Amino acid sequence: MEKFIKLKSIPAHIPLMNIDTDMIIPKQFLKTIKRTGLGKSLFYEMRYDESGKLIDKFILNNDPYSKSKILLAGKNFGCGSSREHAPWALLDFGIRCVISPSFADIFYNNCFNNGILPIIIDEKSIQELSEYFKRKEEIEVDLNEQIILYGNKKLTFDIEPAKKKRLLEGLDNIGLSLKKIPNIEKFENSMNKTKPWI
Amino acid sequence: MSKTLYDKIWDDHLVHEDNDGTALLYVDRHLVHEVTSPQAFEGLRIQGRQVRKPKLTLAVPDHNVPTTDRSKGISDKQSKIQVDTLRNNCKEFGINLFDVNDKRQGIVHIIGPEQGFTQPGTVIVCGDSHTATHGAFGSLAFGIGTSEVEHVLATQTLIQKKSKNFRVNVNGSLPAGVTSKDVILKIIGTIGTAGGTGYVIEFAGEVIRNLSVEQRMTICNMTIEAGARAGLIAPDDKTIEYFKDRPMSPKGENWTKAVAHWKKLFSDSDAKFDKEVNIDAKDIEPLVTWGTSPQDVSPITGEVPDPEKEKDKDRRTAMYRSLEYMGLKPKMKISDIKVDKIFIGSCTNGRIEDLRLAAKLLKGKKIASDVSAMVVPGSGLVKKQAEEEGIDKVFKNAGFEWREPGCSMCLGMNEDQLSSKERCASTSNRNFEGRQGRGGRTHLVSPGMAVAAAIKGYLADVREIN
């Protein structure tokens, strides 16, 4: 997994609440058996009309936002299904950081398994950052310092230390958990005695 | 120290805990389907890793399978590749699979309990958000992403942070025509689609206790629509009775031991909840959704809301967008909304009791002439049971199509989809834009309300169907 340390980009802004995973990547693209190649289908129904033509007014279809690495969005981003195709599509498009007042639980966890940083900040701060979207100016995210830099201002954000470490170091969770096999074996041996029906 | 049911199951599955509370949780039961697993198995192969406990995983194709005649195989090429890939992966890694033509095949959240693979007090995960369904049996059950599916396959554990405790009490007794679907829609309408974020919700109260286990599954199933990690209902005698003699239930001495364990699964009377909400059953009417979020609920006797009356600006914007997508005007009567299609099925309402209830209302009647309707049983065994009871004939005689089991039009990954602007009364769980097909308009309802809409051709009140 690619490390996440610092990221600088003109942000894109989709000011909608409850952006669900069906919107982020509709069902017809879940038939793949690969993790890659979903970027062109990100936000498919908002991005393309029924004949498959790009819809001009959709923000990610316009430069410089078609190259944005940071996405600002309304609250409860990523609600709905557990499909990891949603973060895969964002990542494949080039978005590595989503900033929202709140995230749905499964989507939030899925981000950290794909080197995407989901940042939770209040609505007022999103409004401030959206000025940089309008002015087409870059903002910078520094994960180590837990700050977002914009103009000569900065704001801080919270993140669980373990999740931060994972992104900073690009760690493989499975590899780390496999080091705990002795603990897992001990647990299984004990369970075989107390709950033999499992 | 007093504990909630969630605390008890959590503590019972803790393999390791870091100082910051990051825990390694043991997974007793893992369900796998064709859509969210191929990349996980591929990941194992690339790293040269094995499945740690193949017997604790059960696989079934459900999302992508056709619900029409399956004798000729799957015609959609990509769907076929996914189903074939699942079969090959299960063979390679030694995992039990109920294949497309197995009579036990069905929606993953219906076959788990049906087989007794689901059990009280266990931790159950699946790469599907509606895994929450299994919480109805007092198991901690939740959806995970594909990377986590891979983690579970390799280690039989999952990295988790503990959620907070939330209890929803539904008190009193349900009025006529009101079902568990209306109860959960009422709860989501009350707390909102993010109302449960960061929590595990335990459902309690007289109404919940009086529900059958299948009705409880509908409630837990849609807990995810309120944003919660999982939904839980304490097991009771009905739960124990349900699991007796299921194919994968504990047998003999193990059954006695398991039941003794299951009887300890409840929240202590003085257990502390971080949040608590009370709902009075008498305030619940048969409900429908009018918008594109499951929290957009209205009684069938009500009106489409007027966004102008909404004070929150973002919410107002979302309401306007929903109404435009749904092709509805503020203040129109809900019962004036004309429907084109009816879908009865899904992991929310595709069980035998749902079909029995619908058939009872439908018996001897016909669906409206300009409506098309289908029933998709939740599993092959549900279908068989229904056919033995003559339920299929009631549906067919009324004008419904009687299909093969699968997820079908709940998410429209197979051919069962809405066309643009087609309007559907659906017993499924999500009314998101495009969910049942691009431009399709979904109204979430109970099975009884779906029958009422099928007969009248409009969203209609189940209490008016004799």
**Element (DSSP H or E) covering residue A108:** helix A105-112
Which residues 173-232 of B have a C-beta within 8 angstroms of A?
A: 193-194, 197-198, 224, 227-229
pLDDT given for residue B1 in this prediction: 86
ipTM of the complex: 0.96
From chain B, pick out residues whose CB is under 8 angstroms from the CB of A43: none
Q: Do B82 and A31 touch (CB under 8 A)?
A: yes
Mutation site, A18, A91, A110, A190, interface B, largest B CB count within 10 A: A18
What is the distance in angstroms between the Cα of A60 and the nearest Cα belonging to chain B? 19
Q: Given B64, B79, B145, which is nearest A84 (Cβ)?
A: B145
Mapped to the 3 state alphabet, what secondary structure does chain B carry? CCCCHHHHHHHHCEEEECCCCCEEEECCEEEECCCCCHHHHHHHHHHCCCCCCHHHEEECCCCCCCCCCCCCCCCCHHHHHHHHHHHHHHHHHCCEECCCCCCCCECHHHHHHHHCCCCCCCEEEECCHHHHHHHHHCCEEEECCHHHHHHHHHHCEEEECCCEEEEEEEECCCCCCCCHHHHHHHHHHHHCCCCCCCEEEEEECHHHHHCCHHHHHHHHHHHHHHCCCEEECCCCHHHHHHHCCCCCCCCHHHHHHHHHHHCCCCCCCCCCCCEEEEEEHHHCCCEEECCCCCCCEEECCCECCCHHHCCCHHHHHHHHHHHHHHCCCCCCEHHHCECCEEEECHHHHCCHHHHHHHHHHHCCCCCCCCCEEEECCCEHHHHHHHHHCCHHHHHHHHCEEECCCCCHHHCCCCCCCCCCCCEEEECCCCCCCCCCCCCCEEEECCHHHHHHHHHHCECCCHHHCC
pLDDT given for residue A172 in this prediction: 86
Q: Do A197 and B255 touch (CB under 8 A)?
A: yes
Q: Do B42 and A33 touch (CB under 8 A)?
A: yes
What residue type is assigned to position A98 of the chain? V
Q: Does B413 touch chain A (CB under 8 A)?
A: yes
- CA contacts within 13 A on the Cβ side of B166: 21
Q: Given B24, B49, B78, which is nearest A180 (Cβ)?
A: B24
What's the Rg (C-alpha) of chain B? 21
From chain B, pick out residues whose CB is under 8 angstroms from the CB of A31: 35, 64, 76, 78-79, 81-82, 413
Global pTM reads 0.97
Q: Do B151 and A184 touch (CB under 8 A)?
A: no
Cβ–Cβ under 8 Å, residues B123 and B21: no
Q: Does residue A196 register a pLDDT over 90?
A: yes
Mutation site, B14, B139, B155, B254, interface A, largest A CB count within 10 A: B155
Rounded Cα gap, residues B271 and A21, in angstroms: 35
Condensed to tens digits (0 to 9), the pLDDT of residues B251-310 reads 999 999 999 999 999 999 999 999 999 999 999 999 999 999 999 999 999 999 999 999
Q: Given A102, A188, A198, which is nearest B122 (Cβ)?
A: A198
A182 contact partners, CB below 8 Å, separation of at least 6: none
- CA contacts within 13 A on the Cβ side of A95: 28
Q: Given B129, B148, B150, which is nearest A80 (Cβ)?
A: B129
Condensed to tens digits (0 to 9), the pLDDT of residues A71-112 reads 999 999 999 999 999 999 999 999 999 999 999 999 999 999
Q: How many CB atoms lie within 10 A of CB B149?
A: 30
Antiparallel, parallel or unpaired: β A70-73 and B400-402:
unpaired
Q: Does B298 touch chain A (CB under 8 A)?
A: no
Mutation site, A31, A49, A163, interface B, largest B CB count within 10 A: A31
Cβ–Cβ under 8 Å, residues A104 and B194: yes
Q: Given B85, B131, B411, which is nearest A33 (Cβ)?
A: B85
Rounded Cα gap, residues B335 and B312, in angstroms: 27
pLDDT given for residue A197 in this prediction: 97
Which residues 252-281 of B have a C-beta within 8 angstroms of A?
A: 254-255, 257-258, 261
Q: Given A79, A84, A181, which is nearest B193 (Cβ)?
A: A79
Note down pLDDT in tens along chain B; length 466 residues: 899 999 999 999 999 999 999 999 999 999 999 999 999 999 999 999 999 999 999 999 999 999 999 988 999 999 999 999 999 999 999 999 999 999 999 999 999 999 999 999 999 999 999 999 999 999 999 999 999 999 999 999 999 999 999 999 999 999 999 999 999 999 999 999 999 999 999 999 999 999 999 999 999 999 999 999 999 999 999 999 999 999 999 999 999 999 999 999 999 999 999 999 999 999 999 999 999 999 999 999 999 999 999 999 999 999 999 999 999 999 999 999 999 999 999 999 999 999 999 999 999 999 999 999 999 999 999 999 999 999 999 999 999 999 999 999 999 999 999 999 999 999 999 999 999 999 999 999 999 999 999 999 999 999 999 7
pLDDT given for residue B466 in this prediction: 74
Q: Do B64 and A105 touch (CB under 8 A)?
A: no
What residue type is assigned to position B376 of the chain? V
pLDDT given for residue B72 in this prediction: 87
Q: Do B20 and A177 touch (CB under 8 A)?
A: no
